[in-house]
Amino acid sequence: MSIKLEQTWRWYGPADTVSLQDIKQAGATGVVTALHHVPHGEVWPLEDIIERKKVIEDAGLVWSVVESVTVHEAIKTRRPDAQRYIDNYRQTLKNLASQGITTICYNFMPVLDWTRTELFLEMSDGSKALYFNWNDLAAFDLFVLEREGAADDYPEAIKAEAKRRFDGYTPAELEKLKINILMGIPGEKNIELEDLRQSIGIYKAIGFDGLRKNLIWFLSSIADVCEENGIHMTIHPDDPPYPILGLPRIASNKDDLLYITKELDKPFNGICFCTGSLGAGVSNDIPAIFDAVKDRVYFAHLRNVKKDEQGNFYEADHLGGDVNMYAVMKALVAENATREVPIPFRPDHGHQMLDDLAKTTAPGYSAIGRLRGLAELRGLELGIMGEY
């Protein structure tokens, strides 16, 4: 078992406060990035891809994974104009593959990307972490968004606590909660409240089954391009892995991931195995999920979460929390040994800590917390490899 996992790092491009030199010093060899300046649904220009790749390679790194070629809402909802965005997606994949970039991470979460209610929760050691709390989400849902039927989605205890919290919020605290929940991908446009309301109505009509069918339709529509160009599509699990704000979620557990990979049973149709997203699911057995889909795992996000009895969670140290990272890494190392090309992984998110506490960074993506996570994960991997 001499082959190691490929160690990568997410980079938000030239505007990122974490530089490529920082990434190299952290010990990563690969970069996970995207062309965030290109509007969702538009073709990624070949010249822009070539330029970004050159910048990365000039720094002594490689562009390992694209995260993400965002799937336009027209595709997720299968609007009448969806074919235009399918065609654009196909061309973007061709452009990327022409430069040898063939691992693509994407998600099929309606409207919102990953969702948190607090972006800078202060930990006992003074570092800061991302946090999700059902009571705060309910306060937003019931009294800010005022979603029709929202009261039916929460237990009485959460509704009562949500009302208590809402009544006690200052205007500034309420605005902060709204911004946190509606936050988009760093460097891109945030979601507007009215846009969210309209989208909720659309997805209510589509439902869980309809969204799954739309995903399979999307993948079927790009299958030939992927197969002809050696592309691996890797779907990122829902984060958190529950329906929220009346929006369906279709990639939240083992059954969901098995449905996706078996309904369109082609090798290109793969999984981004995110231990943090799946780990937030109270009933998710992370090693068992990996074992079920390991032949389709082409990319991994390794992070940890700590949950309470209500299902609220914060992002813990990479080797702390509820996810048995030793068991996950042991399974990854074993699977990686069967591959000719190593599985890329990145330390997903990280605590804002040390000097980064005084810097403005993308939530979850400060340098030092991820450096710590990568160092811990690399050590864990090497220790496991030494067991064989």
The CA distance from 32 to 13, in Å, is 10
Task: Show the tokens assigned to 337.
Answer: 């040994």
Catalytic entry in 89, 131, 242, 365: 365
Catalytic entry in 238, 274, 314, 351: 274
Q: Do the beta carbons of residue 320 and residue 276 sit within 8 Å?
A: no
Residue 105 appears among annotated catalytic residues: no
Task: Show the tokens assigned to 63.
Answer: 């562009």
Could you tell me the maximum CA-CA distance found in the chain, to the nearest angstrom? 58
Catalytic entry in 105, 349, 351, 356: 349
Q: How many residues does the chain have?
A: 388
For residue 90, give Cα distances in angstroms to 27, 232, 266, 317.
33, 13, 17, 38
Checking DSSP bridges between strand 269-274 and strand 30-33, what pairing results, if any? unpaired
Handedness of CA 207, 209, 215, 220 (dihedral sign): negative
Catalytic entry in 239, 317, 348, 356: 348
Q: Do the beta carbons of residue 262 and residue 126 sit within 8 Å?
A: no
Catalytic entry in 40, 72, 232, 236: 236
Give alpha helix (H) positions in 169-245.
Answer: 171-182, 193-229
Residue 236 appears among annotated catalytic residues: yes
Handedness of CA 283, 286, 290, 292 (dihedral sign): negative
Half-sphere exposure of residue 62: CA atoms within 13 angstroms, side-chain side: 13
Residue 272 appears among annotated catalytic residues: no
Residue 274 appears among annotated catalytic residues: yes
The CA distance from 22 to 374, in Å, is 13
The CA distance from 277 to 239, in Å, is 5
Q: Do the beta carbons of residue 315 and residue 370 sit within 8 Å?
A: no
Place of tokens 């849902």: 141
For residue 57, give Cα distances in angstroms to 17, 22, 29, 54, 60.
19, 14, 10, 5, 5
Residue 349 appears among annotated catalytic residues: yes
Residue 301 appears among annotated catalytic residues: yes
Task: Show the tokens assigned to 45.
Answer: 């220009």
Could you tell me how far CA 182 lies from the centroid of its own chain?
Answer: 15
Catalytic entry in 301, 314, 318, 356: 301
The CA distance from 10 to 370, in Å, is 10
Handedness of CA 191, 283, 304, 12 (dihedral sign): negative
Task: Show the tokens assigned to 81.
Answer: 């104009």
Catalytic positions are 236, 274, 301, 348-349, 365
